[in-house]
Structure 1
Amino acid sequence: MTMQNFYQEIHQPDAQIDLAKASLYLAQQEYPKLDIDEYLNALDTMAQEIKERLPDSFYPLKIIQTINHYLFEDLGFEGNRTDYYDPRNSFLNQVIDRRTGIPITLSVVYLEIAKRLDFPMVGIGMPGHFIIRPNFEEAGIFVDAYNQGEILFEQDCEQRLQEVYQQPVKLEPHFLEPVTNQQILGRILTNLKYIYLNGQQFFKALTILEYILLIFPNHPLELRDRGLIYYHLGETQKASQDLGFYLALLPDAQDAQVIRQLLEKMN
């Protein structure tokens, strides 16, 4: 049922996808007793408390400062620097309970609160880091929810990228383009996939891949990864199917030769 709820939520026009609900349906896979309404109510309550503190003038910078003060000073939300790859950082219920997370999940909390304040914001999926910005033309400012809601300008975003990669990085214009709700969910899931693969938790990684393929059906690289996990788990028929499909979609892929050899070995 959890996966079905997730599927129904993401298969509607992107602007209508409830990011909090979809994130919580995903978390329900890991926490079956999770009460979705409890966490939606928590976001409602946070937004209501911020609303009561907002100045009369609807000035974007003032709104951001009010959200920041409440979330990061009063409630103590912060980026998890001690255990960045803890899977709990990717589940919205845990982020709300523990008040810590990674850039993308803290951004989801921020986006959902902003939405409830009728102050629309959008996600910006930079390589290696995730930030948000107000959703109006020429906003010119960005918010880094992982760093206490720090307000960034365009040149700061390039600086942040260089900090992430620890080398000079040129800020390409498309790095700052807004991402869709589907892309945000896909990025959360991809983080989880790599955490589980690195921890050799193959059954969990497989479940996460099922969710990714609900959002991006027939995505070649996700099919390949699922096929390789099936192979590792000894499910050769399913592995052959996924890996064969991968080669049909990307016959000239860099690893095509290796995958063909693997298929021959199974057949």
Structure 2
Amino acid sequence: MPTQQLDYFTSLVAEDEHLPLTEAAVAVAQHAYPDLDVQGVLDQIDQWGNKIKQRITPDTPPIQRLQLLKHFFYNELGFGPNQNDFYAPENSYLHQIIESRRGIPISLAILMMELGQQIGLNIRGVSFPNHFMMRISLQQGEIIMDPLNGESLSKNQLQEMLDPYLDAKGYRGELSLPLNIFLRASSSREILSRFMRNLKMIYSEDERWERLLGIQERLVILLPDSAEEVRDRGLIFAQLEYVRPAIADLHHYLGEMPGAEDAADIREHIATLESQTKLH
């Protein structure tokens, strides 16, 4: 069964141009919920889309469509942040967010973007540091919106949110980066990788290796050119004592990146794993 699910995920993310972000984000959860009815979740979102469509006409201007969508999503459906447990994995599984109406910025944004698309609004995701945002182009100009509550943010507010990140990275003074660099719209693949890396971080910190492997396998599929993701899968295999696949992944990483900073550590790790296979 898991192979079928991985094949399904692979087919969803095969092409950049037609990557169905919402369906792929729902399907991510199949690693933890193998019986999940992905189509059922999408049908629920479509029902909401149909409800909003009934409130607009072809003449309804985009700004009014946005107001209707925000009211429906945050007020009527009651979506918002999970204040009590921001780092629970459930905040990144769309089928659970639809039940609880609680999520994190990126998961709420994916739902808003999908509903927006259904009523003719082009809402795009923005991989802003430490807080995912949404960007909407209207005749009145560009709006940057917080997915947690639908509030529009001014340039000053965004700069205030960005400054701690710039300080931490040393991008200040002469090296200071302009705000606009951080406000560009992200591709579906970029959004999905950030979405999945949240889960990766949570399961890594909790050392839930089986759950982590399910996410990592999908990251390798999503980002086929990333040797680091293959390395990370190898390290997870090693934790689970899947020694041979671990060795294969770590060798692949060294083959792709022989001069990597961690190359010596990885070689040492391979040597330890290979000695284990000799003992068996």
TM over 0.5: yes
Distance, in Å, in 2 between the alignment partners of 1:266 and 1:39 is: 42
Match of 1:117 in 2: 119
1:3 equivalenced with 2:6 (yes/no): yes
Could you say which structure has the greater relative contact order, defined with CA pairs below 8 angstroms and 6 or more residues apart? 2
Residue 140 of structure 1, CA deviation: 2.1
Aligned to 1:258: 265
The alpha-carbon deviation at position 53 of structure 1 amounts to 3.3
Separation in 1, partners of 2:208, 2:74: 33
1:201-240 per-position Cα deviation (integer Å, ceiling 9, x unaligned): 1011111111011111141211121111122222332222
3-state SS of paired residue (1:123): strand
Indicate yes or no: 2:193 matched with 1:186.
Answer: yes
What is the aligned counterpart of 2:70 among 54, 65, 68? 68
- 2:167 and 2:108 map into 1 onto residues whose CA distance is 23
Structure 1 position 94 matched with structure 2 position 101: no
On the 8 A contact 1:213/1:222 being kept in 2, the answer is yes
Aligned twin of 1:156: 157
Deviations 1:64-95 (A, max 9, x none): 22211111111110011211111111111111
Q: Partners of 2:9 and 2:209 in 1: how far apart?
A: 21
Using the TM superposition, name which of 193-202 and 253-262 deviates more: 253-262
Which moved further from structure 2: 197-206 or 126-135? 126-135
For 2:86, the equivalent position in structure 1 comes to 84
Structure 2: runs of 5 or more not aligned: 275-280
Inter-CA distance 215–240: structure 2 relative to 1 (3 Å threshold): same
Aligned to 2:277: none
Aligned: 1:215 with 2:222: yes
Deviation at 1:105, TM superposition (A): 0.5
Q: Percent identity?
A: 31
Amino acid at match of 2:267: R
What's the CA shift for 1:138? 8.8
Kept in 2: contact 1:3–1:25 (CA 8 A): no
SS in 2 for 1:195: helix
CA contact (8 A) 1:3 1:26 kept: no
Partner of 2:209: 202
| Distance in 1 between residues matched to 2:165 and 2:91, nearest whole Å | 18
Q: Distance in 1 between matches of 2:179 and 2:264?
A: 33
- More off after superposition, 235-244 vs 137-146: 137-146
Paired residues of 1:243 and 1:259 also in contact (CA < 8 A): yes
Q: Deviations over 1:148-189 (max 9, x none)?
A: 111123333222334789979755433111111111111111
Q: Counterpart in 1 of 2:134?
A: 132
Determine the C-alpha separation between the residues in 1 that align with 2:37 and 2:241: 36
d(CA) in 1 for partners of 2:267, 2:7 = 34
Radius of gyration: which is bigger?
2
Aligned with 1:119: secondary structure?
Answer: coil
- 1:132 partner SS: strand
Gaps of 5+ in 1: none
How far off is 1:135 after superposition?
Answer: 4.8
Task: Measure, in 1, the Cα distance between the counterparts of 2:166 and 2:77.
Answer: 30
Which residue type is aligned with residue 9 of structure 1? Answer: L
Provide the secondary structure at the position in 2 that maps to 1:16. Answer: coil
The aligned amino acid for 1:95 is: I
Deviations 1:15-44 (A, max 9, x none): 422222112222233223322232222212
Letter paired with 1:6:
F
> 233-242 or 180-189, which moves further after superposition?
233-242
The alignment partner of 2:67 has SS state of helix
Please report how far the alpha carbon of residue 243 of structure 1 lies from its aligned counterpart in structure 2 after TM superposition: 1.4
Large movers: runs of 4+ above 6 Å? 163-169
In the alignment, does 2:112 pair up with 1:107? no
Q: 1:70 to 1:124 in 2, by over 3 A?
A: same
TM-score (norm 2): 0.85
What SS does the aligned partner of 1:254 have? Answer: coil
- Asked if structure 2 preserves the Cα contact closer than 8 Å seen for 1:55 and 1:62, the reply is no
| Number of equivalences | 265
Change (3 A) 1:138 1:5: farther
